A and B are shown apart, each in its own frame.
Chain A
């Protein structure tokens, strides 16, 4: 199914590219960013280095209007971020879109192919340096271990906008799945896993309201996703299935010189077999963040954020982990962040930030934590990144 969707996506993009005529409009945008990361006693980026340059991001996208209603768009991206994601190039999205305006109140669109997750505040642009509030997003919601699975899906997505006198409602529903390669399997599952991990499907829904005044927005979203694991010969793990369900609330308030953003979630994880025959686990975790941005001048922005995450709401101190011989701090991660953003020229930006962490619950691999590389409950991390973006 996943491979088929990838083929379909490639076919669609090739087909519509052939249909391009001189009268249609194409725009190309891109970005490149390089940074350095300091972290001590942590496997988040690279456990062997205190300072590393494994913070490279580059992307190129094309959006092509084929007619009044039909559009095609695609983006390729290259990432090198140490243990955060699987390094290398990938197709972030590639889809065919139909957009229409029904009347002055109703507007809609549908995408088929590999489409981006539009359901959370930063989900659609978490891979684009100049669009993020910080280099490292709040891990409670934007867990880097799930980056490729969460950022896009192969399938279909539909959006409907309805305007009323007080503002506008936006509803999005999407269905599909994401390919999981070997590197992602190791990060999500464990380096000892040699079988085949796949996301069978993911169904998402979100609804947002933006008032006429435009000074705030509020949204709610739901996610239901199924995974399956197929054992390989000499595998440490066995056949099994997992289900992930998320309920999120999203809110933002906009003032002239500052902005307040918050997202909170409850996440249920159900595991059956996989770890061992007969294994069953059903836990609910929660988390969220509160973030303030202060626009000192058009060029300078300060950011402050608190982020909370507990893997299991019935075991917030990690006592169950400790009973199994693992440090309890792998069951939570709370983070305070201070950051600064400087746009010193058109298309150029410097991001600098510092993170103070308590706990290691959002480090990969989650199923088999790396205790040797993460010996302390408290740890810190600093990042600096230079970004350039352009439109041709």
Chain B
């Protein structure tokens, strides 16, 4: 078995490649990231200007945050509990489990402490509802945000994670 030798020319070529890769990487950091088709995003009505973090999102999506700073009621819009994108959003983004979210909602609804969330069958319906309802907030996957429903005049604000304004 012969020892691997690295000639000077090859070493320079390697350094050159690393440099070019670094430049590409720097460019990649400032360039817009491509939309991941499965990436859940928070969508909310244009009039909401509230900065969001995961803690606040947990409060919102468990019915524990009732009013936006502008006075609009928080209207939570969700997919049905069996929808795979609901589970993905809850686990990947809120870092909770579906049964935990459901338990908190049921506890709050049946002790009169929260209005129930609005459940819509699909993401297009969520986009349409959020775009026309002041105070509404929901979630959709990246794919849905590239395909706006017909008739939506005022597009909702869309935020990837981590969310920040």
Contacts and interface: CB of A to CB of B under 8 A. Distances in A.
Interface of A: 25, 27, 29, 59, 61, 63, 65, 68-69, 71, 73-75, 93, 95, 97, 99, 101, 104, 107, 109, 116, 118, 124-125, 127-128, 130-131, 161, 163, 168, 212-214, 254-256, 259, 295, 298, 346, 391
A130 B106 contact: yes
A63 B67 contact: no
Contacts of A27: 115-116
Contacts of A63: 109, 112-116
Contacts of B100: 214, 254
Contacts of A298: 81-82, 87, 98
B113 A73 contact: yes
Nearest first, the 10 closest Cβ-Cβ pairs linking A and B are A73-B112, A124-B111, A116-B111, A131-B106, A128-B110, A68-B67, A27-B115, A391-B116, A125-B110, A27-B116
A161 B64 CA distance: 10
Nearest to A214: B96
B73 A254 contact: no
8 contacts: A61-B112, A63-B115, A65-B66, A93-B111, A125-B106, A214-B96, A259-B99, A346-B80
Interface string B108-132: 0111111110010000000000000
Contacts, number: 90
A298 B65 CA distance: 27
A255 B96 CA distance: 9
Interface residues of B, number: 33
Nearest to A75: B112
A254 B106 contact: no
Q: Which of B67, B110, B116, B119 has the most CB of A within 10 A?
A: B110
Contacts of B87: 298
B9 to A, nearest CB: 53
B114 to A, nearest CB: 7
A166 B96 CA distance: 16
A69 B67 contact: yes
Nearest to A95: B112
A128 B112 contact: no
A168 B62 CA distance: 14
B109 A29 contact: yes
B112 A254 contact: no
Contacts of A161: 64
A168 B64 CA distance: 13
A59 B73 CA distance: 26
